[in-house]
Structures are given as C-alpha cells and as structure tokens.
Structure 1
Amino acid sequence: MNRSPIPKVALSMLTLVPGGMGGSETYARELTRQLAGSDGADVTAFVPENVRDFSGGLLETQVPGITAGPSTKDRLRVAASATVRRSSLQRLFADSDVVHYPFTVPLPAPPRGTGFVQSLLDVQHLELPELFSRAELLYRRRFYQGGARRADRIITISEFARERMIDRLGIPPEKVVVAHLGVDVADYEPNAGAREHFVLYPARGWAHKNHARLVAAMEIVRRQLPDLRLVLTGGGLDDLGPLPDWVDRKGLVDLSELRELYRQASAMVFPSLYEGFGLPPLEAMASGCPVAASDAGSIPEVCGDAAVLFDALDVDSIAEGVVAAITRSDELYDLGLQQAARFTWESCRDVHLDVYRSLS
C-alpha cells in the first residue's frame, strides 16, 4: 500500500445515477469539485460506464460493465455484477491508501489493508421503515448497515444523523465523523425587494417529503392569501397524482432556474418528515428567501433561528408556519444570510481530508 504524505484516495461511486439521487448527488458533486481544487489528497473517481464528467475536475475512470440505474432492481444488478467481479474491480484500487464510498454502498469492497470510509447520510430506513419497500429495506440492511459495521470511518452530515446511527447501529462514537454540507453564498444573488405570490418546495416526490400534507396546508393558507400559488420542483412529482390547479408541478429544473425561483418566492417551505441534513433551506436563505421548515430530524440544526419551524405532521402548523415566514420576510432575510454563511463546502472538504489522512 502507498504510504505517501499525501493520501491516495479512490472514490468508488458505482451506484451513481446523475439526476436521480437528490441531496446525496449534490454532496458527491460538490465534494469532488472541492477535492479537485485541493492538494491535500491524490483522488481518483470511479463511476459507472454510462456516466461522464461528473467528478468536478478529478481524474475520472468509467468502469466497464457497470451500468447504474435508479430502481432498487437496478441497484441490485450493479451489486451482483460488482460482487462477481470483485477481484478484478479491487485491482482498480490496488495502490490506494483509502477507498471512500460517497454513495454509501461499498462496491466493490476495499482491498484488504486499505482504509475504508463510508458516507452514511442518515438511517431513515430504520426510523421510518414503512416508507420503504421490503426489497429496499433488505438492500439497505446489507449494504448500508453491513458497510457501516465494517468501515474504518463513517462520514455523516449532521450531529442528528450521527447520534441516530450510533444509537440504531451500535457504532462506536469515535468512528463517526460529522461533515456538514455547505452552500456557496457567492453563487447566490439575494433579493431584498418585491417577491412574487408563490411558495416554493424543491423536493423529489418521495414519501417522506410530505407533499400531501403541504397541499392540504396550502388550502388553509389560501383562505388568508387567496391568490398564493405553490410551485413544486424535483423528480418523481408525477407520482403525487392529481393536484389542484393552483399548484405548478415544474419537475426537474436546472440550477439557474431554481436559484431564480428562490429569489422570487414569497417563501420556501420544507415540510420533510426526515432529513440527514436538508440543503434547500440553506439555499433559500442564501437567496434572501424566508423559510418555513419542519422541526424534524436535522432541520432545526441546519436552520437555527433563521427559519420558522413547524410540526410537519400537523397541517394547521404547516399553514401557520408558511404565513409566519411570509409575514417575517424582512427579519428572516438578514437571519438567513447569516445562517447560510456558516456552512461552507470548504469546511466539508477539510473534514474529509482529515479522515483520509488519519487512515493513510
């Protein structure tokens, strides 16, 4: 194994499906960009053969014969292929000090004697198992939990997530490290002026994102603010079924359009039932947009006192939170900018580099 002062790191991302992985994809994309701009480690990214130019300037290797897809069946197919080809795939990492799995699933397993780092963003499947299929629960038990128990270090993204995995998985506390996600405030142009008459919710149509309660809450809000619309962005929104005509289902939008929506929205609402971190509130704050957010999971840790928090299981509470955020727009503008500036991708990168060095 190479034992140079600068650790040689393999980022194994064989389950990557660009555009289909939510916040974990943002995390991996920003991490690779930050690592590419640092001389603290010698990093190579390994991605499926159907992925190109994901890794932000890092040396990137497409792995032949590995083609990832978004479904549990697709992930199981990749797992089976990587298991059968384990020895040949491990040779890709033969001269690495550390193998890191940003998308949690340790495929292929690291070579013997190589540092093993797993990113585990949350243990939602143990907290809310009713939201997952049996196949998905089995998959996560094998690859998420099994990997966590074997890893030398686990990197997670909030103190909340760290505490839950220590409790749920019995992981030694010293093995789990927190690297908060970040937001590049310089990339956002805060709007301190007039805003348009809509509320924004950027989230994929997953069950824990709680769209149904939000729509019911907006029915209540519209009794006070009759013309207020709801704008939804993200993948999988067709799964939500019929929606009222005052709901705009935009689906996947590019980054420039999303940032403009943050700038123009009367408020950003975030009624998620569970988050390991939750980036959209910070992105909204960096845009000067007032935020109303759930008090569940890591969200209070991320939002601090810069958002109106509500009970995401209570439709009336969600409605009150949305109205309060709009009413307190001027106050939340300043608080939000200050809160967003506390979270940087550079700090996230530095935690990763410390972990790599500790194992090399």
Structure 2
Amino acid sequence: MRVALSMLTLVPGAMGGSETYARSLCRALAARRLLDVTAFVPAIARDAGEGLPTEVVDEYRSGTTAAAKLRGVARALASPGAMRLRYRGIDVVHYPFTVPLPRLPARVVITLHDVQHLDVPGLFSRAERAYRKVAYDRAARGADIVVVPTAFVRGRALEKLGLEESRVRVIHHGVDHAQFRPDGSEREPFLLYPARTWPHKNHRRLLEAFALLRRDRPELRLVLTGGGSEALAGPPGVEARGAVPQAELVGLYRRAACLVFPSLYEGFGAPPLEAMACGTPVAASNAASLPEVCGDAAVLFEPDDPRAIAAGVEAALARADELARRGLERAAAFTWDAAAQRHEDAYRSLSTRS
C-alpha cells in the first residue's frame, strides 16, 4: 500500500497549529517507518516532509490570501493532469490541510481541523467563507475518512455537515516532548500568551484582564508572541514580541509564571499542552475544545469576561505547584507517535475495503 500526504496548500508560517500538526505527523511517520508514505509539498515548503520521502509539486501555485487560495484551488481543479502524474500508484491519499488537491482515483482521508466558519461565520470574510465552503465542507462530505482532533470537532462536524458517524475519527494531536519539557529554569513574574492576532484569539479581553491584574500585582508582565502581536505593544507591562523562533518560545514556556489562553474557539489548542509539558501552570478558556484538551490540569474561565479571566489567572498562580504536577501528567498522554499510529490504522482500514 502506498500512501500520499498531499500538502499542496501549505503556506509556511501562516497556518498556525495545522502546520505544526502536518509537520509533526510527517516526522512521526518517518520515525516509525511502517508504511510506504510520501509527502507531496509545494515549492514554497520543500522541507515540509520532515524526513519522509518527498515530492515537490512545482505545478501548484500557492497563495496567501483567501482570494488567492481560492484561485489556486480553482486552477488546480480545472487542470489537474500534470499534478496527477506525480501521484501515480497511490492507494490512499491524506489531505492534512483538508483541501483535496489534486483529486485522485484513490481512497481519501482528510483532516478537518474545525468548523469555525460554520459556528462563528462573523469572524470570516465573505471570500474566506466561500473558500471554506468549497474547499472544506465539500471535501469532508466526500472523504472516506474524516480525521478530527477532538470529540468537540467531531460533534460539530456531525451536526453542521451531516457526516456519517462511522467516517469520522478522533485523533488527538501530540506534544513534542523532546522540545517541550522542564529544564529547571526559575519562574519569572510574567504571563505568556502565544497566539496570532486572529479575532477568535481574544486579545482585547486579555489586555483588559491584565490591566485588572496589574492593580494588585504591579510587577506582573504579559508576554505576547505570534504573528501580528507586535501591534499590541503599549499598555504598561505588556511585551509584544511578534513571531519568535521555536527555541525562544520554549524558553518562555519554561520561565513563565502562568500560561493564559483566552481563546474563544479552538479545534484542538496546542499551547496549553505545550506549557503543561514544560511544567507551567495553565489558565485557559472554557470554550470549544479546551476543556477536553486540558482536562483537570488547568484553571478554566469564561473568556467573554475580563474579570473572569483575571480570576482564573489568580487561581492558577495560587495553585502553581499542583497545576504543574497535573499538567506534566496530562501532557504525557499526548504523543505524536500515538497520533501517527492511529493515522496508520486509518490508512490500513481503507486498503482493506472493496
């Protein structure tokens, strides 16, 4: 059985957790070496195979805006011939970024990271909603297997897209424990929030909550990382660093007094687990998938209320030692090897179907 991981719509550095998922899955499959898997990648992401045999598909022209992505998908669907030749002999094709490019005469697995565009359409432009309707919804309805990262996403997908339950498999993401681990660093008086400034990341209410916290804790700082966060610099105590290298982010996890994660919507939500793996206390939103991911190892709060966010942070700081222990135990249950094994099971199940 030959499996293709078709990753043509990858735009490096612009896709958040879905890029981490795809690259980590490739790395874990390459380490296991149990199936014949090839990564098919665009020219702008030649290294995305992460150790798997890799085919660079120069024929696909990537775009960074919603309109450009839609044009790229349309061109690829209209003239798929040259691309298809690269995939000859493939039995199962997995599209980890949901979009089924190119369409192939093979069994199909897609990963549906969330249905945020259906749950909270107001957060998306008209062009982005149109793109997702064509590229995501149709792909999910036509796939043999739909992989989702949490039971939360599974429930929303079943309701919003009318999928058959038997076709939707929950496979939790993993944590790179070789990177995200304690190293004995001393905790410093700052909160950490690593997130791009997308609307659902809820930076505005976090800044309001932080102003409340500073009244009683003037020494406390808030460190923001992620693309676009540099624009949020200015309020007292706020350090807005923008996108930072992975090594710097790991160091921040290890030194932070607490991770605060006020997101309004997550299909999975890796930063709380990454922080836990580093022994960092976590205060997180009680919305969407986050209670499922965090379990009882974090303080959960109502993300629409700055006072509730502030209270959640105060509680996490007061329970720092307990939450650090619980977090390490929780994060240990999430590995990329286990995720890769479950993906392999999905691929094999399709090879046995008539």
- Common fold: TM-score over 0.5: yes
Give 1:304's match in structure 2, choosing from 295, 300, 306: 295
CA distance in 2, matches of 1:64, 1:27: 23
SS at match of 2:44: coil
1:102 corresponds to 2:96: yes
Secondary structure of the structure 1 residue equivalent to 2:37: strand
| Residue 336 (structure 1) aligns with | 327
Q: 1:74 aligns with which of 68, 76, 81?
A: 68
Aligned to 1:244: 235
Q: Paired residue for 1:202?
A: 194
Structure 1 counterpart of 2:100, one-letter code: P
The farther-off stretch of 27-36 and 90-99 is 90-99
- Quote the Cα distance in structure 1 between the aligned partners of 2:115 and 2:264: 13
Q: Does 1:216 align with 2:208?
A: yes
Deviations along 1:194-244, one digit per CA (max 9) or x if unpaired, are 411110000111000000000000011111211211111111225x55641
Aligned counterpart, 2:285: 294
**Does residue 58 of structure 1 match 2:52?**
yes
Q: CA distance change for structure 1 residues 193 and 100 in 2, over 3 Å: closer, same or farther? A: closer
Q: TM-score, normalised by structure 1?
A: 0.94
Q: Which residue of 2 aligns with 1:3?
A: none
Pick aligned residue for 2:131 from 136, 139, 153: 139
Q: Residue 272 of structure 1 aligns to which amino acid in structure 2?
A: S
Contact 2:185 2:255 in 1 (8 A): no
Does 2:350 correspond to 1:356? Answer: no
| Counterpart Cα distance in 2 of 1:63 and 1:191 | 41
Could you tell me how far apart the structure 1 residues matched to 2:143 and 2:104 are?
10
Correspondence list, 1:246-261, <5 A: 246-261=237-252
Identify the residue that residue 187 of structure 1 maps to in structure 2.
179
The alignment covers a number of residue pairs equal to 351
Q: 1:24 aligns with which of 3, 18, 23?
A: 18
**Contact 1:192 1:288 survives alignment (8 Å):** no
Whether the 8 Å contact between 1:82 and 1:108 is mirrored in structure 2 is yes
Residue matched to 1:122: 114
Indicate which of 211, 223, 229 corresponds to 2:221. 229
For residues 201 and 274 of structure 2, what CA distance do their matches in structure 1 show? 17
Unaligned stretches of 5+ residues in structure 2: none
Aligned equivalents of 2:180 and 2:142: distance in 1?
Answer: 40
What SS does structure 2 have at the residue aligned with 1:197?
Answer: strand
CA RMSD of aligned residues (A): 1.4
Look up the equivalent residue of 1:139 and give its one-letter code: Y
- The whole-number CA distance in structure 2 between the counterparts of 1:193 and 1:94 is 51
Render the CA deviation track for 1:318-344: whole Å, top value 9, x for unaligned.
010111111111111100100000111
Aligned to 2:43: 49
Taking the aligned partners of 1:334 and 1:17, their CA distance within structure 2 comes to 37
**SS at 2:197's partner residue?**
coil
**d(CA) in 2 for partners of 1:88 and 1:81?**
12
TM-score between both structures, scaled by the size of structure 2: 0.96
Percent of pairs with identical residues: 53
Distance 1:192 1:283, change over 3 A: same
AA paired with 1:249? A
1:244-274 residue CA offsets vs partner (Å, 9 max, x unmatched): 1421111111111111000111100000001
Alpha-carbon offset, residue 192 of structure 1: 5.9
